[in-house]
Amino acid sequence: MLNEENEEVKKYSRLSDGIRVDLKLVAALVDPNARVLDVGCGDGSLLRYLVEKKNVDGRGLEISQSGVRACLLQGLSVVQGDADTDLKNYPSGAFDFVVLSETLQTTHNPLVVLQELVRIGRFAIVSFPNFGYWRCRWQLLVRGHMPVTKSLPLSWHATPNIHFSTIADFLDTCAEKNISVERSYAVNQRGEPIRFGGGRFYPNIFGAQGVFLLTAGASKTADELVAG
């Protein structure tokens, strides 16, 4: 599913600058000096990285007070709020990039959130754990247990994740909802993009997470997507 030989992506994948490896891929997709909204920004590590390394005009939206405090202590601009209810307040096209990293699966209404992301941002960058990952399939099919992996580290009763999806599900949804997938990546457990010849079958099995660059508008078909 890695469909682009993106020098930036390769460069960031080699680095480890104190942010989660999978965030480096997200960061690589953001243009320097852009206006960025990080939805579900947590402790602000991605936002800080983008502000410091890419000189973005960055804002965050975070639901937890501890996360908000951590962001503010670093001098980041962050609003305590809820992706499910607060995105509608932002004007259309207010940001160049709206990032939703590992948060979509925790929202109550992921469809609405997705549509808000591409409305608010010229581009949306969305990453989520792939429930179609082979380790998930193995644990469910053979062992009969809900999957617990590096991307899905918590037990069924403790996880904040309420809307699981696979990479294939996500692509279908984007197509249905007229959301254009500009770039798509499957990443391994270490957060590194992995290459496949084509098709979505293998990425949906071997990708621990999916990372997507989206815009509003006519979606390509899933097959076109994978071909890049």
Bridge-based pairing of strands 57-62 and 35-39 is parallel
Q: Which of 92, 221 has the CB closer to another protein? A: 92
Q: Which of 30, 76 has the CB closer to another protein? A: 76
Cβ 70 to another protein, closest distance in Å?
A: 9
Q: Which of 73, 227 has the CB closer to another protein? A: 73
Pick from 37, 191, 61: nearest CA to 124: 37
Give the integer Cα–Cα distance in Å for 116 and 186: 23
Contacts with another protein, residue ranges (CB under 8 A): 35, 57, 59, 65, 68-69, 71-81, 86, 89-91, 94-95
Cβ 135 to another protein, closest distance in Å?
A: 38
Q: Which of 95, 212 has the CB closer to another protein? A: 95
Give the integer Cα–Cα distance in Å for 20 and 46: 8
Q: Which of 7, 65 has the CB closer to another protein? A: 65
Cβ 89 to another protein, closest distance in Å?
A: 4
Q: What CA–CA distances, in Å, run from 194 to 86, 140, 156, 206?
A: 34, 24, 28, 8
Cβ 52 to another protein, closest distance in Å?
A: 11
The answer to whether the beta carbons of residues 107 and 163 sit under 8 Å apart is: yes
Cβ 115 to another protein, closest distance in Å?
A: 17
Half-sphere exposure (Cβ direction) of 183: Cα atoms closer than 13 Å: 20
Geometric angle at alpha carbon 101, from 99 and 102, rounded to 5°: 155
Give the integer Cα–Cα distance in Å for 88 and 139: 38
